[in-house]
Amino acid sequence: MKHSFLIKYAEIALKGKNRHLFEGALVQQIKYAVRSLDGDFEVKRTQGRIYVEGEGDAYEEDVIDALKHVFGIVGICPIERLEDDDFDEICRAAVAHMGANYPDMDGLTFKVEARRARKDYFKDSMEINADVGEAILDAYPWLRVDVHHPDVSLYIEIRESVSIYSKVIPGPGGMPVGTSGKAMLLLSGGIDSPVAGYMIAKRGVKIDAVYFHAPPYTSERAKQKVVDLARIISAYTGPIYLHVINFTDIQLYIHEKCPHEELTIIMRRYMMRIAERLARQNNALALVTGESIGQVASQTIQSLLSTNEVCTLPVFRPLIAFDKQEIINLAQKIGTFETSILPFEDCCTIFAPKNPKTMPHLDECLKIEASYDFESLLEEALNNIEVKFINKNSDVDDLL
Ligand code: ATP
Ligand code: MG
The span from the CA of 177 to the CA of 165, in Å, is 27
Sign of the alpha-carbon dihedral angle for 376, 382, 383, 385: positive
Question: What tens digit of pLDDT does each residue of 79-96 get?
Answer: 999 998 999 999 999 999
Taking residues 347-357, report their average pLDDT: 66
Nearest CA to ligand 1 atom 22: 188
Provide the mean pLDDT of the chain: 91
Q: How far apart are CA 308 and CA 321, in angstroms?
A: 17
In terms of DSSP H, where are the helices of the chain? Answer: 17-34, 60-67, 87-101, 125-139, 192-201, 220-237, 248-257, 263-281, 301-308, 324-334, 337-340, 347-350, 362-370, 375-383
As a whole number, mean pLDDT of residues 251-255 equals 90
Q: Mean pLDDT lowest for which of 45-49, 66-70, 230-234?
A: 45-49
Residues 124/116, Cβ–Cβ less than 8 Å: yes
Measured in residues, the chain has a length of 400
Greater pLDDT, 70 or 345? 70
From the CA of 365, how far away is ligand 1's center (Å)? 20
Each residue's pLDDT tens digit, 123-176: 999 999 999 999 999 999 999 999 999 999 999 999 989 999 999 999 999 999
Share of the chain above pLDDT 70, in %: 94
Instruction: With a cut of 90, say whether residue 375 has pLDDT above it.
Output: no
Q: Which one-letter DSSP state was computed for residue 384?
A: S
Residue 400 has pLDDT above 50, yes or no: no
Contact 235, 391 (CB under 8 A): no
Contact 331, 193 (CB under 8 A): no
| Cα–Cα distance, 251 to 266 (Å, whole number) | 10
Q: How far is the CA of 370 from the centre of ligand 1 (A)?
A: 25
Question: Which amino acid is it at 262?
Answer: E
Give the count of beta carbons closer than 10 Å to the beta carbon of residue 353: 16
Could you give the dihedral angle defined by the CA atoms of residues 272, 389, 319 and 286, in that order, rounded to the nearest 10 degrees? 50
DSSP 3-state of 141: coil
Q: What is the pLDDT of residue 349?
A: 64
Ligand 1 in reach of 282 Cβ (< 6 A): no
Q: Which helix (H) or strand (E) holds 110?
A: strand 109-116
**What per-residue confidence (pLDDT) applies to 344?**
74
pLDDT at 398 over 60: no
Provide the residue type at 213 as one letter: H
Give me the sheet containing 315-316, strands edge to edge.
315-316, 286-288, 182-186, 206-213, 240-246, 386-390, 398-399
What is the per-residue pLDDT across 49-71, written as a single tens digit (0 to 9) for each? 899 999 988 889 999 999 999 99
In this prediction, residue 256 carries a pLDDT of 87
Name the residue with higher pLDDT: 370 or 227: 227
The closest-lying atom of ligand 1 relative to the alpha carbon of residue 185 is: 20
CA dihedral over 56, 60, 61, 67, signed as positive or negative: positive
| Ligand 1 site, residue 218, Cβ cutoff 6 A | no
Confidence label for 351 from pLDDT (cuts 50, 70 and 90): low
Q: What is the DSSP string of 23-62?
A: HHHHHHHHHHHHTTSSSEEEEEEETTEEEEEEESS--HHH
**Ligand 1 atom nearest to CA at 319:** 18
Q: How confident is the model at residue 350 (pLDDT cuts 50, 70, 90)?
A: low
Centre of ligand 1 from the C-alpha of residue 35, in Å: 32
For ligand 1, say whether the CB of 298 is within 6 Å of any of its atoms: yes
Confidence of residue 395 (pLDDT cuts 50, 70, 90): low
**Residue 256 class from Cβ within 10 Å (0-12 exposed, 13-18 middle, 19+ buried)?**
exposed
Confidence of residue 295 (pLDDT cuts 50, 70, 90): confident
Mean pLDDT of 316-323: 97
